[in-house]
Amino acid sequence: MKKNSMKADKFCYIQSSNESQNLCFNLQEGESLQLTFIVLGDVKVNNHIIINLDGENAACSLRGLWLINGDADVNFDVKMNHHVANCTSDQLFKGIANDRAKSNFFGLINVSTDAQKSDARQQCHNLLLSDDARAYAKPQLEIYADDVICTHGATVGRLNDDELFYMRSRGISLDEAKKIQLKVFAAAPLDFVTKDTASHLEDWINAISL
């Protein structure tokens, strides 16, 4: 494994108003990039993110968390382009939607013919807290190289009754058990943000779920 002494960038976007992000990053050899998007509340957001892995051994991690309510309408359009060999990308997006909020995740991973030994991963998981909330997740892989690792997964679910009953049978109240489930669900995409940012998770969850 080649040691990465090149540029490493880390950005976190917290979006709690109707402001979208249109971003394009081109990563050169050995560069790494970590992007985190946190979308909060009753907002309309259209994020377009294009990542071009242009130099070998470039690595990109994308994280997304949306905690939305009201009539929020959140769209993520992600294009991860593996143009050359030996690059890695991993994407983890999670969303919790309440009321009539809806989210759309569209994630394309494109691995071109020259991009052998690419490692590309993408996950998008959603929890719906109300009957009218909606989540759409559409992962798409276009792979033209033959020696690659590419995985993707998408789920849409609700709070787990068995977990809730298990917690309640130990004396954890229903509200608290729900909060624990939401916190546990939402924590994973916050692995690159500061402790200070992550410490707001509980408040953000309370703001959309109570």
Partner 1 sequence: MLKITNLHAKIGDKEILKGINLCVKAGEIHAIMGPNGAGKSTLAATLAGRDNLEVTSGSIIFQGEDILSLSPEERSWKGIFLGFQYPVDIPGLSNAAFMKAAINEHRQQQGLEPLSAASFLKMVKEKMAFVEMDSSFSSRAVNVGFSGGEKKRNEVFQMAMLDPRLAILDESDSGLDVDALRIVGTGVSKLHHPDNAAIVITHYQRLLDYIVPDFIHVLYKGRIIKTAGKELAMEIEERGYDWIINEEE
Residue number, 161 or 196, with CB nearest to partner 1: 161
Residue 76 is classified by DSSP as E
Query: How many CA atoms, within 13 angstroms, populate the side-chain half-sphere of residue 195?
Result: 0
Residue 150 CB: number of other CB atoms within 10 A?
A: 17
Residues of span 135-174 touching partner 1 by CB under 8 A: 161-163, 165-174
3-state secondary structure of 206: helix
Which of 188, 191, 202, 210 touches partner 1 by CB under 8 A? Answer: 188
Least separation in angstroms between residue 168's CB and partner 1 is 4
| Residue 91, both tokens | 């994407």
Residue 138 bridge partners (DSSP)? 106
Least separation in angstroms between residue 169's CB and partner 1 is 5
Nearest Cα residue to 90 out of 111, 120, 116: 120
Nearest Cα residue to 78 out of 109, 102, 53: 109
195 part of the interface to partner 1, by CB under 8 A: no
Least separation in angstroms between residue 155's CB and partner 1 is 13
Residue number, 143 or 156, with CB nearest to partner 1: 156
Least separation in angstroms between residue 200's CB and partner 1 is 18
Compute how many residues bind partner 1; rule: CB under 8 A. 20
Residue number, 138 or 183, with CB nearest to partner 1: 183
